[in-house]
Copies of this chain bind each other. A is one copy, B any other.
Amino acid sequence: MGEEIIVVGCGASGGTAAQFARKTSRNANVTVFEKSKYPQYSKCALPYLISGKISGPEKLIEFSVEWFNRAKIKLFLNSTVTGIDDKKVYVKKNSEVIVKEYDKLVIATGARSAVPPIKNILDKNGELKKGVFTLRTVDDAIKIINYIGDRKRNALIVGGGLIGLEVAEAFYSRKLNVTVVEMLPNILPSMIDEDMSRELYDQLSGYIDIFTNHMVLDVEGDDKVESVRVKNNGNGEEFKLPVDVLVISTGIKPDVDLARSIGCKIGEKGGIVVNRRCETSVENVYAVGDCTEGRDFVTGGSFPVGLGSIGVRQGIVAGVNAAGGDMELFDGFLQTRTTRLFDVEIAAVGPVSAVLDDDVVSGKFRGSTHPEYYPGGSQVVVKVLCNKFDKRIVGAQVIGKNAAQRINTMACALLHKMGVDDFIKLETAYAPPIAPTIDPLAAACEVANMKLRRRN
């Protein structure tokens, strides 16, 4: 008889944990309980479902029920784990209650959207007012699509982060007038520095209206949203915007009720605390994905995990370990992240300057994908952050073609604590139709390096 491994939640990290448990042990019994009716699908793709780029919800499924069957993983959909007790999970599936014992438990309960305290955002029943949405699930996306129909005109997004701007683009492609309101002075504030954000702002503001350093005070309309009152944080001025559909995109709140109920330690960011093996503070219980909090590789500080790339890697590690393997994540997360907005690719790794201390020096370079002499190059802007004492790279931000692939190289450099002075010696691939001899990444490192030399 194999060990009983139970995974709670079939999002990207839970599903991955189940898969890698199966890969690691052929004898283990792997069971997944998922509260929704969907098997593992991509949450990050929801904005592209709204835009129509992805044609329907069924396309989002990454691993189907049949796939799980073939892999001999028992997947229960519409199955909510209501309690855990004495190494048993209690599951409600329709009117039925399933009780199942586990040897190892993987909690992958995800997160909910955080809703900021905006006046009148809720109706009398404490639900989001009609026309106000959050976006976490396929069902959320379908509700939004149905609500917009062909008649809605004015969309407003609260929050100028990654998802907020992706939804803004999706609405734009559905021919809505789109406004984004961001409380902080710049868009993508947890991804790129203010100067880099301005580069992007200029490119996006041809398509959508963006109010940074503004906040939504009040949602107006009786039975549904009709307008909002917005305040300029700088000068205090207030104004009204007509709004047919409002999407809240101001971050997530980890779903930790189950974990807390069995005594798992919850961290300062509200997520389940896990070690490098994805073990919680409770024996035989792992946790992965958006319900956990991570440790930043550079600062050592905690952050709520909200990236699929991290969740999937946690899933791999938890799955392998739950099935008797031995795998450990690196000592902190790099938080590599990317998006494409109106054909502009943006990518970053490591913390932004604002959360780093004064020991950091930056190098910024505006270069081209191609050598100057070769036609067809396009602009790439790179900013590199490094520690001013040991020169090691602690962050990088790229706007331009292939930003994501470029940032992967910086992620590898950051992980290995490579210095900006060493980076310029890294042989990057060079060919006239592809890249210059000194890549823009290296050129930005050299700018930082020169600053440091001048200091000494």
Contacts and interface: CB of A to CB of B under 8 A. Distances in A.
Interface of A: 12, 42, 44-45, 48, 53-54, 59-62, 307-310, 312-313, 316-317, 329-330, 333-340, 345, 347, 349, 371-375, 402-409, 411-413, 415-416, 418, 422, 424-435, 437-439, 441
For the complex of A and B, the 4 pairs showing the least CB-CB separation, nearest first, are A405-B405, A338-B429, A404-B429, A412-B412
A155 to B, nearest CB: 20
Given A329-B425, A338-B431, 4 more contacts: A45-B374, A53-B375, A307-B427, A349-B429
B429 A309 contact: yes
A371 B411 contact: no
Contact of A429 (B333, B407, B413): B407
A54 B437 contact: no
26 contacts: A12-B437, A42-B371, A42-B373, A44-B432, A45-B432, A48-B374, A53-B433, A54-B374, A54-B375, A60-B373, A62-B372, A309-B427, A309-B430, A312-B438, A313-B425, A330-B422, A335-B427, A336-B427, A339-B431, A347-B429, A349-B429, A404-B428, A405-B405, A408-B429, A408-B439, A411-B427
Contacts of A409: 405, 408-409, 411-412
Nearest to A337: B429
B316 A424 contact: yes
A310 B427 contact: yes
Between A12, A329, A422, A434, the greatest number of chain B beta carbons within 10 A of the residue's beta carbon is seen for: A434
A428 B373 contact: no
A244 to B, nearest CB: 26
A45 B210 CA distance: 43
Complex copy number for this chain: 2
B432 A42 contact: yes
A345 B369 CA distance: 14
A411 B426 contact: yes
B432 A62 contact: no
Contacts of A433: 48, 53, 339-340
A427 B438 CA distance: 25
A305 to B, nearest CB: 11
Contacts of A330: 422, 425
Nearest to A340: B433
A59 B408 contact: no
Contacts of A308: 430, 437
Nearest to A297: B427
A148 to B, nearest CB: 20
Contacts of A403: 429
B434 A345 contact: yes
Given A329-B425, A336-B429, A374-B54, A434 B45 contact: no
B405 A62 contact: no
B375 A428 contact: no
Nearest to A276: B425
A419 to B, nearest CB: 12
A413 B411 CA distance: 10
Given A412-B418, A426-B415, A61 B334 contact: no
A371 B62 contact: yes
A317 to B, nearest CB: 8
A338 B374 contact: no
Contacts of A422: 330
A59 B373 CA distance: 6
B428 A309 contact: yes
Contacts of A339: 431, 433-434
B428 A408 contact: yes
Contacts of A375: 53-54
A314 B333 CA distance: 34
A206 to B, nearest CB: 19
A375 B60 CA distance: 11
A116 to B, nearest CB: 25
A441 B418 CA distance: 21
A276 to B, nearest CB: 10
Nearest to A23: B450
A412 B406 CA distance: 11
